[in-house]
Structure 1
């Protein structure tokens, strides 16, 4: 039946074409002959258009998916400030069970009711600076207990074969603890009589200069962009920054406790670690059983 219809259509077209005798009909025939190939070209154009539409739709879908993922991630971080990606250089294992927290800073400069410059403090604040006391020294000494950590197993994955090996443990330390050590070194220079310090020369001067510049780099690296408002002090007829700002901070106490739980004193109770290396140059001689403890004081440059 399909063949009959096709033959009928072909015969009808030839019959209609044979009676085209006028110029107008001839023009029509020429027009038909000119557009004869159109269906085939149209099909090719349609297929090409369809492919372009599919490709553009797929590309749009992919881009939309990526943008949606980024948007959802951004919203998630905005709604939950504690949910942040690791920095590539972080010792991630130290942060696994910790969350960022909001901290209201204290210790800022301000003017009292009679216009005198003072350092503000909050009730219950621990005093890290000022005239030295045994309690103040105890704060700084406690931080020093976490200066060197000894890692093994999965905790050592990111430092393995990148630092020295000591009695089966890889030695490292969180940089924030070293920065605190440097601040303490600088703090003590304000009170040479109390700490019986001689003028810094030679290695001691180099140590202090290193500490000052190291803290400078740390501050610039972290670049806290919390806005600091300005306030007017009628008592002194001056304006100045209001340092009573709230910052989103890492849990320093948590990081310190994590470090102390892995210092040489804690590892000594556990015994020799299970790490090893084929490179003898990475092995530090000695053992925990023979050591009184590792700290910055045992570094080659006098830390």
Structure 2
């Protein structure tokens, strides 16, 4: 055998023993093409997984944005009242009254320490006398205030209510009172009722005590219930603490801090809207009711 044939034989054996040759021979006819493209083809399973992850991520992002928006909106709304004046906040927490109008000047708040001690001396309590009666007369302030018909519309009252004649008050002005003064009037009536021996004397007798005993008793009961409703309505949420006091044991401390509307401002509003015409007179459009309103 020549040299050329030996080299060819050796070359042939090397080719036949090559792993590449063996792997190629073991594949079907169309497999080599697929094996070359294997790294470039996307797996259907992997594609679905990515789509699912993308959907989840988008949902999480949208939910986060929604929650963030709601939180910001909530904080924004919480801050609204802080941006208002005290008068505007009072108007938002009360039914309409002309005293709550921004330019009325009737609403101003102040910090007040209630004086709750039994022995505390006050011009408003104790044995009746002239100075005490004058002090109560000032804060009850039962003067004749006037408003327009628009106010009656806004508070849900009929325009058949008592109105001044055009000669008395031009412009169709209605005769009204202010709730706080009625509440103080009622409290004063109860105070006087507890001192009947003093206020039954002719020189001290108030107009309410000139009524019959039946009417006076109804008046007193009316005032008790009006004050009950007012106190429940306003629902003071202040806290009363207690102390151990010798000879008493547990003892409440009713001297507490409060934030109150200044009564002087309300009195000033009533004076500025006071009619100098006296009591209203019957006019051509006066309506008489068959019984008191309920």
User: If the TM-score is normalised by the length of the shorter chain, which range does it land in?
Assistant: 0.5 to 0.7
Match of 1:256 among 264, 267, 273: 267
Q: Is the contact between residue 232 and residue 239 of structure 1 (CA under 8 Å) also seen in structure 2?
A: yes
Matched, 1:229 2:234: no
Q: Is the contact between residue 230 and residue 239 of structure 1 (CA under 8 Å) also seen in structure 2?
A: yes
Matched, 1:84 2:84: no
The alpha-carbon deviation at position 152 of structure 1 amounts to 2.4
Q: Is the contact between residue 94 and residue 255 of structure 1 (CA under 8 Å) also seen in structure 2?
A: no
The answer for the alignment partner of 2:137 in structure 1 is 141
Matched, 1:63 2:63: no
Residue deviations 1:25-62, cap 9 Å, x none?
A: 6xx79xx69729948x967985x668646643552243
The answer for the alignment partner of 2:114 in structure 1 is 105
CA distance in 1: counterparts of 2:78 and 2:44, whole angstroms: 52
Q: Is the contact between residue 146 and residue 259 of structure 1 (CA under 8 Å) also seen in structure 2?
A: no
CA distance in 2: counterparts of 1:93 and 1:239, whole angstroms: 42
Aligned length: 238
Greater shift in the superposed pair: 186-195 or 138-147: 138-147
Greater shift in the superposed pair: 175-184 or 156-165: 156-165
Q: Is the contact between residue 105 and residue 245 of structure 1 (CA under 8 Å) also seen in structure 2?
A: yes
Q: Is the contact between residue 116 and residue 253 of structure 2 (CA under 8 Å) also seen in structure 1?
A: no
The alpha-carbon deviation at position 177 of structure 1 amounts to 1.1
CA 1:263–1:21 in structure 2 vs 1: closer, same or farther (change >3 Å)?
A: same
Secondary structure, counterpart of 1:225 in structure 2: coil
Question: Where does 1:45-194 land on structure 2 (aligned, <5 Å)?
Answer: 46=54, 52=59, 55-73=62-80, 76=82, 84-85=89-90, 86-91=92-97, 93-94=99-100, 96=102, 97=105, 98-109=107-118, 119-121=119-121, 125=122, 127-146=123-142, 148-152=144-148, 158-159=154-155, 162=158, 164-167=161-164, 168-194=172-198
Which structure 2 residue ranges, 5 or more long, are not aligned?
1-27, 165-171, 201-208
The answer for the alignment partner of 1:205 in structure 2 is 217
Q: Is the contact between residue 231 and residue 240 of structure 1 (CA under 8 Å) also seen in structure 2?
A: yes
The answer for the alignment partner of 1:215 in structure 2 is 227
Q: Is the contact between residue 99 and residue 269 of structure 2 (CA under 8 Å) also seen in structure 1?
A: no
Which structure 1 residue ranges, 5 or more long, are not aligned?
1-16, 110-118, 273-279, 286-298
The alpha-carbon deviation at position 222 of structure 1 amounts to 1.0
The alpha-carbon deviation at position 201 of structure 1 amounts to 3.2
Question: Where does 1:230-245 land on structure 2 (aligned, <5 Å)?
Answer: 230-234=242-246, 236-245=247-256
CA distance in 2: counterparts of 1:95 and 1:233, whole angstroms: 47
Q: Is the contact between residue 94 and residue 258 of structure 1 (CA under 8 Å) also seen in structure 2?
A: no
Residue deviations 1:107-134, cap 9 Å, x none?
A: 532xxxxxxxxx213xxx5x11221112
CA distance in 2: counterparts of 1:242 and 1:208, whole angstroms: 29
CA 1:189–1:233 in structure 2 vs 1: closer, same or farther (change >3 Å)?
A: same
CA distance in 2: counterparts of 1:107 and 1:140, whole angstroms: 19
Residue deviations 1:217-260, cap 9 Å, x none?
A: 111111112111222333x3533111221111111221122123
CA distance in 1: counterparts of 2:195 and 2:32, whole angstroms: 120
CA 1:210–1:158 in structure 2 vs 1: closer, same or farther (change >3 Å)?
A: same
CA distance in 2: counterparts of 1:263 and 1:206, whole angstroms: 29
Secondary structure, counterpart of 1:241 in structure 2: strand
